[in-house]
Amino acid sequence: MRRTISRAKYLIAAQLFQWATIFHYIIWFTGTMMRHGRSEVVLPRLVRQGKMIVKRWNNRNIYIAPKLKGNTHYDHGLGVTEGLVRFWRSDMTGTIIPSRFFRGLNCIPEWGIHYGGKLLLYEFCTADNFRQRLRLKVGRYRDHIWQINARFQSDSFVVFVLDVPRERIDKFISGQEYLASFFFVDYATFKSVPIGQQFKASIYIWGGDRKEYALSYEP
Using alpha carbons, select from 217, 171, 169 the residue that is nearest to residue 189: 169
Give the E-state strand segments of the chain in sequence order.
Answer: 53-57, 60-64, 95-98, 111-115, 118-125, 155-162, 182-186, 204-206, 212-213
Each residue of 68-124: pLDDT tens digit?
A: 988 889 999 999 999 999 999 999 999 999 999 999 999 999 999 999 899 999 999
For residue 78, the tally of other CB atoms under 10 A from its CB is 22
Rounded Cα–Cα distance for residues 35 and 73 (Å): 27
Each residue of 165-203: pLDDT tens digit?
A: 999 999 999 888 888 899 999 999 999 999 999 999 999
